Amino acid sequence: MNMPAMNEAETVPPQAASRPVTRAEFLNLFFAVFLPMFMAAVDQTLLATATPAIAGSLGNLRDSSWIAVAYLLSSAVIVPMYGRLGDLRGKRTMLLVALGVFAVGSLACSLAQSMPQLVTARVLQGLGGGGLMTLSQALVGELVPPIERVRFQGYFALMFTTASIGGPVIGGFVVSNFSWRWLFVANLPFAAIAAWRLCRLPRGERHPQTEGGSDVPGHLLFAVGAVSALFWLTSGGHRFAWTSSVSLAIVTTAILSLALLSWHERRHRAPFLPVDLFRDTTIRLSAVLVMLFAACMFAIIFFLPIYLQLGHRMSAQASGLLLLPVTAGQVVASIAASRVLRRTGEPRLIPVVGMSLTSAGLLLLSLLPPHMAWVVALGFVTGLGLGTVMPISQVVVQTVAGRSKLGAATATLSLARSTGGAAGAALFGALVFAMIPNADRASLLQQASDMDIGIVIRAFHRGFLCAAVVAAVAAFVASRMPRINLWERMKSRPDGAAPE
């Protein structure tokens, strides 16, 4: 691989990625994938501070969690397709396609005139956004060996630091001084610059398509089952009675769809869900861990600013600034975890310690008095724990899966992250808003001064307690993973694949 001299017609031979990568070569690749990864990472914090303002403009705060859920679910549905098409047609080509869809979805979001329109536009944006992080990471994984990726982890930490710190600050500033619509419009020039830079990379490796073709029924069954289940869980009790015929129809649809999905995936030659990868215990438990981690992370990132604005009467800009301790903790832990992994090659205990920290932080956040000092300190502790999961899981799964399944392996984690994040945001929102009166009213923020602060704070504290339980389960799952040394695994199997 000679990345400074790459042109569009080149492909990168597999053996090229096995030799040491120079700093100049890595930087050439990094600056090409920086913007797609940045746009995917910043989305989760950028809109968090804007959600109450969006609800005030379009109405229905109770359904505002679907701003995140719609994006995450559509991302979850499309991510495995991007992974397989990236392996088949080249990761750079599919990343350009994802950028185009993301840009169109962003434009549609900026033009939305109601909450249903915005949620629909977020679905379209998610269909593009699902490929941004997945294909960027897979492209890096294809061109840079695992041990070299750990060596250059500081650059990815820089990107996530920029996104994590810039997201809440920029989101709060724009909402406080301009319109939330500009948060979506800003994606358009960034997408254009990213596409121009990606065109300067090689097409990359292509792997023959497996027999069986695409799994359209699997995608549809997953979408119907996931949306039905989350809609039932978040809407029961206020849109319809739990024991009503509507409730029964929706939950029956969810159960049947997911049951059919399980039956279908075991028989399809090229399943939507990577059943062959799930046979490996490390990959299977890593996916479960990432789902639980994402449920906690999105519950905190999305709802902490709402908690501060409703429960502590803070402005969007101030709530954005108070999200920084969480994101700062994630960045610090990500760098530290990567350094530990590079030195030892043993990933097992890192997420165990991390998710235990997160569980403790969320537990204390739910029990201690709601003082700002506690929110800042425990937000940082919670972020420290969350920051240990994704960088470790990414390297572990990519190494165990092997080069020929790199795209599918990366997509597996993205699917787990999106699905877990959607479930976490939806269920946390349903739990909290069910305990807050008038959560359906568009004027909730304007009436906040007349509300009982104690009711709001108790509702969110109960939500934090539930999130603490989920984090504790994640720590237990991490403790059950097999003990492996990644660098020894790479020496014994040059392609990094798991033994048969």
Amino acid present at 304: L
- 472 and 334 in a single domain? The answer is yes
Task: State residue 456's pLDDT score.
Answer: 77
User: Are 355 and 385 a contacting pair, CB within 8 Å?
Assistant: yes
Confidence of residue 85 (pLDDT cuts 50, 70, 90): confident
User: Are 141 and 149 a contacting pair, CB within 8 Å?
Assistant: yes
- 149 and 222 in a single domain? The answer is no
pLDDT at 498 over 60: no
Confidence of residue 356 (pLDDT cuts 50, 70, 90): very high
Q: Is residue 178 in some structural domain?
A: yes
Confidence of residue 4 (pLDDT cuts 50, 70, 90): very low
- 342 and 406 in a single domain? The answer is yes
Q: Is residue 499 in some structural domain?
A: no
Confidence of residue 274 (pLDDT cuts 50, 70, 90): low
Mean pLDDT of the chain: 75
- Total count of domains within the chain: 2
- 319 and 251 in a single domain? The answer is no
Q: Is residue 4 in some structural domain?
A: no
The CATH number of the domain holding residue 304 is: 1.20.1250.20
Task: State residue 327's pLDDT score.
Answer: 78
- 259 and 308 in a single domain? The answer is no
Highest-scoring range by mean pLDDT, 70-79, 216-225, 329-338, 356-365 = 356-365
E strands in 328-454 = none
- 260 and 133 in a single domain? The answer is no
**Higher pLDDT, residue 442 or 167:** 167
Q: Is residue 3 in some structural domain?
A: no
Task: State residue 15's pLDDT score.
Answer: 40
Find the mean pLDDT for residues 351-364: 91
Q: What is the pLDDT of residues 236-253, one digit of tens each?
A: 666 677 778 888 888 898
**Torsion angle in degrees (nearest 10) through CA of 70, 73, 78, 80:** 160
- 141 and 259 in a single domain? The answer is no
pLDDT at 9 over 50: no
Task: State residue 421's pLDDT score.
Answer: 80
Q: What is the pLDDT of residues 17-76, one digit of tens each?
A: 445 556 666 666 777 777 787 887 777 667 777 777 787 777 666 667 778 778 877 877
Residue 387 to residue 337: CA distance in whole angstroms:
8
Q: Is residue 172 in some structural domain?
A: yes
- 111 and 222 in a single domain? The answer is no
Confidence of residue 408 (pLDDT cuts 50, 70, 90): low
Size of the chain, expressed as the number of residues it contains: 500
User: Are 291 and 414 a contacting pair, CB within 8 Å?
Assistant: no
Among the candidates 204, 237, 267, a domain finishes at 267
- 422 and 471 in a single domain? The answer is yes
- 248 and 328 in a single domain? The answer is no
pLDDT at 110 over 70: yes
**Higher pLDDT, residue 495 or 473:** 473
- 125 and 226 in a single domain? The answer is no
Among the candidates 267, 288, 305, a domain finishes at 267
Find the mean pLDDT for residues 456-483: 87
Q: Is residue 12 in some structural domain?
A: no
pLDDT at 286 over 90: no
Using left for φ > 0, alpha for ψ between -120 and 50, and beta otherwise, residue 59 falls in left
**Higher pLDDT, residue 76 or 499:** 76
| Parent domain of 391 | 22-215+268-492
pLDDT at 176 over 60: yes
Task: State residue 360's pLDDT score.
Answer: 92
pLDDT at 326 over 70: yes
Give the tokens for residue 282. Answer: 């490390």
Task: State residue 26's pLDDT score.
Answer: 66
Residue 463 to residue 453: CA distance in whole angstroms:
16
Find the mean pLDDT for residues 110-122: 88
Q: Is residue 500 in some structural domain?
A: no
Amino acid present at 105: G
Find the mean pLDDT for residues 358-367: 90
- 187 and 207 in a single domain? The answer is yes
* DSSP category for residue 64: G
Among the candidates 234, 252, 267, a domain finishes at 267
Confidence of residue 357 (pLDDT cuts 50, 70, 90): very high
Q: Is residue 133 in some structural domain?
A: yes
Highest-scoring range by mean pLDDT, 143-157, 304-318, 351-365, 435-449 = 351-365
If residue 30 lies in a helix (H) or strand (E), which one and from where to where?
helix 23-46
Task: State residue 469's pLDDT score.
Answer: 92
Amino acid present at 31: F
Amino acid present at 250: I
Distances (CA, A) of 341 to 114, 147, 306: 47, 9, 35
Q: What is the pLDDT of residues 414-464, one digit of tens each?
A: 778 877 887 887 788 777 777 766 555 444 454 555 556 777 788 888 888
